[in-house]
Amino acid sequence: MPQEPMPTLAGSRSPFLRHGAGQPVSWLPWCEEAFERARREMRPVLLDIGAVWCHWCHVMDRESYQDAETARLINETFIPVKVDRDERPDVDARYQRAVQAVSGEGGWPLTAFLTPEGEVFYGGTYFPPVEGTGRPSFQRVLREVARVWAGERDRALEMARQLRERVSAHEQAESQPGEISGRMVEEAAEDFAHTFDFRWGGFGRSPKFPNAGAMLLLLDLHLDAPAGADPWALRIVSETLARMGRGGIRDQLGGGFHRYATDARWMIPHFEKMAYDNGPLLQAYARAAAVTGEPLLREVADGIVAYYEDVAGALLERGGFPASQDADIGEADDGDYWTWTEEEVAAAVGDEAAARAAVLRFGIAESAAAMPHQGMRHVLHLARELDEVAATLGVGTDKAVALLERATGRMKQARDRRPRPLVDETVYTGWSSLVASGFLAAGRHLGHERAAATALRALERIWEEGFDVEDGVVHRLGDHEGAFLEDQAAFAVALLDAFELTQQAPWLERARAVVGVMLARFRDEEGAFQDRPRDEPAAARVLAQLHRPIADAPSPAGNAVAALALLRLAALTHETDLADQAAVVLSVFAGSAPRMATSCATYFRAVDWATRPVTTCVVVGEAGEAGTDALLAAALSSCRPRLAVRRFAPGAVAAGELPPELAAMVTGESPRAYVCVGTSCLAPMGEAGALDRVLAAES
């Protein structure tokens, strides 16, 4: 019988894979057929994992995968398989660990050499076309791997076995059980304090990655601290967020954040923009702006919202958020779209005084902001305060502000005329949910009603087009299969965010449904969650290996977000068994998470929810009635940690969904607000100001 044609990349929904379809390498997508062919022909698999936003993936494409001789070597010896890490986070997670075990480094592009069973026996990340910087040329690597496979196959298979054992041991080391406690959270905070960069903000030296989870954790710890306590946690949060907001890691013209900074000062970024960064960062900036009142933090939060409206307005109207924006406009580019020379500023602004103001404000003449390989091009950052710009120009502050508004407007218009790096409008459920939660936080804490409406529209579309009562929510909107833990967990949390802000029951019921599927399909026998469904078939043996994500790398960890979803749903409905199940999840990692605390901020946020009293605020009154709305607004605008907000109409209080202590107090009198902290309840309140003061008090 004739063999079925092999799958190709040409029809893929992934822009990264479609680009690979035009290369001379005979790429196959990740599929069972690829490994069947490898077994049939006894050839090793060359696995390339990358993404459309990845600069070095583009570089390796240009240098190697589009080179005819390199392609010939690959096609003659290997079964080449290309994977989009955004499309298959489960594949990426496992091979990242294996390659890190063999080479000591990870990242993208990930280049791995596999047995026909899919197990790594050699790998690395970027390999150059010629020898240099301590790396062998890619052709040399290809020839050496082919030689070993042909003449020393037992050695390759033994290496694969050893790597499998090392990865398994690493996974087990991250899943050491223990008893959760509030002390764990305090010790994790100390770890963050010890690594805090007092000069530039953030943690550690370079490179510097945003850590929104740490910001949210430390902000909660500050709010929990007794009045008059040393505000060290707030200092870390406010200084880090301010430094990032003034730095080159923030897009000073278009809003939003690039992936990370290559230096300690947040100055020179890798320019890709990711949903999994900007969503949590928006939440952190919105909450911190509400707590501190700092205008810069509010400006940064507004800028993230404006960024998405600018680059993907039509998608936001349909429902959903883009996954990423590429760093570059071409394979030889390195940030030209985002950077400026003094001459480009002068040409764009067309006004000498305004251009001079922009050069001063954005540090365009400073060597620290110069691109490493293009010294005339500079990354914009807030180099000087407005009064400094005004003093240097010899004008008043109001005049300086007017000049800068003119300059930035014209620079943005000029940049918009440049070829724009690709915005990947793929709607990945988990990532879109993270951005939706950020937009809902902007609505809740900053009064950004348009942002909240945009988030609700995204969640509505994901629910209607992506959720199945048996399978859960799909990873990528438009697919009919493929679900991961990160999607279920982040979507459930976003649905709870939507419910609290709107107090509309369908959002709560949807969250219940998603959590039900998450428990049914992803929980293992120890009570923690696996990253992929237990019943999902695996094209390669590696996918059957246990992976229970607990570190925030690169997005918030699936087990931690799942635990938060369970804890918040329990707090809103008084389904105490859900809180018990969350405690089991957290206990699976309680022996190991403290050893890697600075990578597990979201986990410790969940432990904080599980071990400290929850504040329940119930507003009784008719929606639309002025007193009721004022009480509800006061509750929702509060940044109090571990706060669950419900509104009931008089006579419709669901006592079974409230803690017994609170249920016993509630009457039909309205409008009234009832607050309990754990089992300690306060007298009912009818004034929004009184509720404000109560919720702002020490918890």
Last residue of a domain, one of 397, 418, 439: 418
> Are 123 and 55 within one domain?
yes
Q: Quick one: tokens of 550?
A: 């607990």
Angle between helices 505-522 and 558-573 in degrees, nearest 10:
130
429 and 281, same domain (yes or no): yes
Task: Evaluate whether residue 30 is within a structural domain.
Answer: yes
Is residue 660 reached through a cis peptide bond, with omega within 30 degrees of 0 on the bond before it?
A: no
Nearest to 240, CA basis, from 303, 297, 307, 298: 297
- Does some domain include residue 7? no
The verdict on 557 and 667 lying in the same domain is: no
Is residue 2 in a domain? Answer: no
Burial 526-547 (b: 16+ CB within 10 A, else e): ebbbbbbbeebeebbebbebeb
Select from 395, 418, 441 the last residue of a domain: 418
160 & 231 share domain: no
Helical ranges in 247-351 per DSSP H: 275-292, 295-311, 313-318, 342-349
State residue 1's pLDDT score: 41
| Whether residues 149 and 235 fall in one domain | no
| Residue 227 within a domain | yes
Residue 286 belongs to a domain with what CATH number?
Answer: 1.50.10.10
Indicate if 141 and 46 belong to the same structural domain: yes
347, 350, 369, 540 from 357: Cα distances, Å: 14, 12, 17, 58
Rounded (10°) angle between helices 153-173 and 89-103 = 110
Q: Which of 173, 189, 207 is the last residue of a domain?
A: 173
Question: What pLDDT score was predicted for residue 509?
Answer: 98
548 in the same domain as 591: yes
Whether residue 402 is found in the same domain as residue 350: yes
Q: Does some domain include residue 8?
A: no
Extract long-range pairs of 126-129: CB within 8 Å, 24+ residues apart: 126/56, 126/59, 126/60, 127/60, 127/64, 128/63, 129/63, 129/64, 129/67, 129/70
Q: What is the chain's length?
A: 699
**What is residue 85's predicted lDDT score, i.e. its pLDDT?**
97
Count the domains in the chain: 4
400 and 295 both lie in a single domain: no
584 and 498 assigned to the same domain: yes
Q: Is residue 115 part of a domain?
A: yes
| 639, two tokens | 């940044």
pLDDT score of 651: 87
* Domain limits for position 403: 338-418
Three-class SS state of 548? coil
Residue 383: CATH number of its domain: 1.10.10
Q: Which of 7, 51, 2, 11 is nearest to 31 (CA)?
A: 7
Q: What is the CATH number of the domain that holds 667?
A: 3.40.30.10
pLDDT at residue 699, as a whole number: 60
CB 226 within 8 A of CB 187: no
> What local confidence, expressed as pLDDT, does residue 3 receive?
58
The answer to whether position 674 is within a domain reads yes
Distances (CA, A) of 124 to 197, 299, 458, 689: 31, 41, 38, 59
Please indicate, yes or no, whether residues 19 and 142 belong to a single structural domain of this protein.
yes
Q: Split the chain (699 residues) into runs of 10 and give each run's mean pLDDT.
A: 72 94 96 96 98 93 96 97 97 95 92 97 95 88 97 96 93 94 97 97 95 98 89 97 98 98 96 98 98 98 98 98 93 87 97 97 94 93 97 97 98 97 97 98 97 98 97 96 95 98 98 98 96 85 89 95 98 96 98 97 98 97 95 97 96 90 89 95 95 87
Instruction: Give domain status of residue 293, yes or no.
Output: yes
Instruction: Provide the CB-side half-sphere exposure for 584 (13 A, CA).
Output: 15
Chain centre distance of CA 664: 41
- What token pair was written down for 94? 């496992």
**Taking Cα atoms as reference points, which of 337, 206, 209, 205 lies closest to residue 277?**
209
Residues 603 and 625 in one domain: no
